[in-house]
Homo-oligomer: A and B are copies of this chain.
């Protein structure tokens, strides 16, 4: 999953802080999305009665569909935001800093 443009290969053997920084940000982004996906689909699909420790058939099917639907929804939102993304000052930008 590559969300950001990748700068051209650096042939040197030293660590380029900016490349590494960008990779870490991408990793954080994926982790954040994944954690929200786990939590969201848990709320949608898992009964809180906890009568047994296994996923039942209905829960398993629901999880599969929930993940697929979340991906599609995420993609649609991403396309929508691409238009406003260039001036992506986000929340902090509004602080008048």
- A→B interface (CB under 8 Å): 27, 30-31, 34-35, 38, 91-92, 94-95, 97
Contacts and interface: CB of A to CB of B under 8 A. Distances in A.
A30 B95 contact: yes
Contact of A91 (B34, B92, B94, B95): B34
Copies in the complex: 3
Contacts of A97: 27
B30 A91 contact: no
Nearest to A1: B95
Given A34-B92, A34-B94, 9 more contacts: A27-B97, A30-B95, A31-B91, A31-B92, A31-B95, A34-B91, A34-B95, A35-B91, A38-B91
